[in-house]
Structure 1
Amino acid sequence: MSDIASVSLDRPLEDIARDLGNSFAEFGFGIVRDHGIGDDLVARAQAASEAFFALPEETKRAYKIAGKAGARGYTPFGQEQAKDAQVFDLKEFWHVGRDLPEGHALAQFMEPNVWPSEVPEFESAMRGIFAAFEATGRRVLSAIAIHLGLDAAFFDPTIEDGNSVLRLLRYPPLPEDAPDGAIRAAPHGDINAITLLLGAEEAGLELLTQKGEWLAVSPPPGALAVNIGDMLERLTNGHLRSTTHRVVNPRGEAVRRTRYSMPFFLHFRPDFEIAPLPSCVPAGAQGDAPEPILAHDFLMQRLREIKLA
């Protein structure tokens, strides 16, 4: 295959598994249409996101939670830095996660959400789209399971009460005083199992091919760009690729425009052990496979690498 696969989630899982699985193996990315996240819900979440980012800087910074690795609330411009990058990314963002009841066995791993009182519709819009993203991600994982020769429900218990995060991203117009070499998002791989991204139709997202060339990811309006994260690459012993990708700076008139996007980072449960699937480890090569590691430990290791923890 020479192109990133574009599939509709309305098709049978077996068809989705074939097309997406091959695309994930080669590119680490796929395009998903008819994904079931309603246009009205997306519009509400987008409007609430833009309303928050339009608030004064001091108001937004009141929602920055110290010592929590950016897991919830606001992370200001210039905070996150990709692994091995020399300068920070040109972005600001807000994180929405899962709320667990007090006393839940996994509650220690997940901070409670905070909600900006200045945007009354924010909480309901984000809770709604979080649930919709999760349902769509579950179907994509079912297709991936079939591609791997597993039962379609294989991943269901691995993500039940998982530490998934909805990120609301704002890339402001390019500042004139940006550090040399700074771009909107430096080359990186995602930490989680899979990422589902709304807003990628705006030019800028690129993936690094196996040939070492940068390839633009350009889904049609309203479609999702879906990519494999490092956790799933580790689980499949590299069969599915967590591809390096970036968001490059715009040119021309776009330099003056703000760019928004909404990635949903679907995570395993914190207590899930990421151990390479036996079917993905060739006979005699067990010693070369990654060591098992708990999802939470892997997450914290990576957050330290990107300067959030």
Structure 2
Amino acid sequence: MPDAIPIVDIRSSTSAVDDPVIATLLNAALSQFGFCYISGHTIATEVTQNLLNSARKFHLLPIAKKKRLKINPYHRGYIESESSQTITSSIESAAQPNRSESFMVMRETLPSDPRFGSQLFGPNQWPDTLIPELKKHCTAYAEAMEKLSLELVQRLGVALGLGPNALLELFNDPTYFLRLIKYPPLNPNDSPAPFGSAPHTDHGFMTLVLQDDTAGLEVLSSNGRWMPVNPVPNTLVLNVADMLSIISNGRWKSTPHRVILGPQPRESTAFFFDPDFDAKINPLVEIRNSDNRSDPIRYGDYILERFGQNYQYRRK
């Protein structure tokens, strides 16, 4: 299929981060689609399976117990179905809330951190007595994904025609969101059919998605057709988000995507890897158009604005 989302084998254990062949493949995929599958990474199967199993246990908890962990002001905890509505700068406002529920984790912020208690810097919430292993498995997965993400940041710098260190200064203290998502089966009586996730672009730098065996993710192609991004064993789905699109001077688009509901429930894990909270984002000087001299965007301001639009708990 000429329009299929490509698989890029990054050969993490054997290839240098400045491998020109991998850089060419990444640039081609992200220039055309803003999406690709990543294979050849070094995330252990045990780590991914432990996470998926723990996430499944969480989603099976009674709703009343999950609500005890409802999302806090620091964007950590349980997000009930239909309590988020995707709005972005590039997609018009969603007409319906998202039909999904999720559990959100960020990097632990210690009380000794001077930022503790402000903005998104606060405590995670864990169902310690109900699923004591969830914290351990989320932490192990997040640590592995952060390592992979920093490798990809270097590879993306090379893919932009620069070098492996071109983007690293944005990630001295990177922000990440680990989101464990469950989509219900489609109710045939629903009209119009709701979205698991309405068409949107992601707000940060890049997203890495671990899918179960159930299809549902779709990406909008350049010809206006929705293309499936079906599960492929032993891969992660990488997509360009708004900040990376700006940094690349629009070479790589932050592509609209959505999740449609089907006859079976679906689970996925999204790892949103973003810059330092105070990072200033603008097109890289080396690839910037001479007439593109807009003021830089502070990442933290941008993400807080988007969350304020998207989540009910932030509008109270």
Change (3 A) 1:137 1:200: farther
Task: Give the alignment partner of residue 124 of structure 2, picking from 113, 130, 152.
Answer: 113
Counterpart-to-counterpart distance in 2, 1:179 and 1:265: 31
Task: Give the alignment partner of residue 286 of structure 2, picking from 276, 279, 285.
Answer: 279
Partner of 2:90: none
Partner of 1:214: 226
Contact kept, 8 Å, 1:168 with 1:261, in 2: the verdict is yes
Question: Could you tell me which amino acid in structure 2 is paired with residue 101 of structure 1?
Answer: L
Task: Give the alignment partner of residue 233 of structure 1, picking from 245, 251, 267.
Answer: 245
TM-score normalised over the length of structure 2: 0.89
Partner of 1:104: 113
Contact kept, 8 Å, 1:31 with 1:219, in 2: the verdict is no
The alpha carbon displacement at 1:210 in A equals 1.3
Name whichever of 55-64 and 156-165 sits farther off: 156-165
Contact kept, 8 Å, 2:197 with 2:259, in 1: the verdict is yes
Change (3 A) 1:219 1:155: farther
Unmatched 5+ residue regions in structure 2? 88-92
Change (3 A) 1:271 1:202: same
TM-score normalised over the length of structure 1: 0.90
1:25 aligns with 2:31: yes
Partner of 1:297: 301
Counterpart-to-counterpart distance in 2, 1:3 and 1:79: 33
The residue correspondences of 1:12-161 to structure 2 (distance < 5 A) are 12-13=16-17, 14=19, 15-68=21-74, 71-83=75-87, 84-104=93-113, 106-107=115-116, 108=118, 109-117=120-128, 118-161=130-173
Name whichever of 13-22 and 155-164 sits farther off: 155-164
Contact kept, 8 Å, 1:200 with 1:225, in 2: the verdict is no
Name whichever of 82-91 and 172-181 sits farther off: 172-181
Tell me the C-alpha RMSD between the 2 structures.
1.9
Counterpart-to-counterpart distance in 1, 2:41 and 2:279: 27
Partner of 2:260: 248
SS at match of 2:253: coil
The residue correspondences of 1:155-194 to structure 2 (distance < 5 A) are 155-175=167-187, 178=190, 180-194=192-206
Counterpart-to-counterpart distance in 2, 1:38 and 1:213: 35
Question: Could you tell me which amino acid in structure 2 is paired with residue 141 of structure 1?
Answer: V
Counterpart-to-counterpart distance in 2, 1:195 and 1:65: 21
The alpha carbon displacement at 1:200 in A equals 6.1
Residue-by-residue CA offset, 1:81-110 (whole Å, 9 max, x unaligned): 111011111100001110133343554442
Counterpart-to-counterpart distance in 1, 2:233 and 2:84: 28
SS at match of 1:87: coil
The alpha carbon displacement at 1:178 in A equals 4.5
Counterpart-to-counterpart distance in 1, 2:99 and 2:10: 33
SS at match of 2:275: coil
Counterpart-to-counterpart distance in 1, 2:30 and 2:222: 12
Unmatched 5+ residue regions in structure 1? none
Counterpart-to-counterpart distance in 2, 1:234 and 1:46: 32
Contact kept, 8 Å, 1:31 with 1:223, in 2: the verdict is yes
Name whichever of 213-222 and 71-80 sits farther off: 213-222
Residue-by-residue CA offset, 1:197-217 (whole Å, 9 max, x unaligned): 000652111111111111111
Partner of 1:8: 9
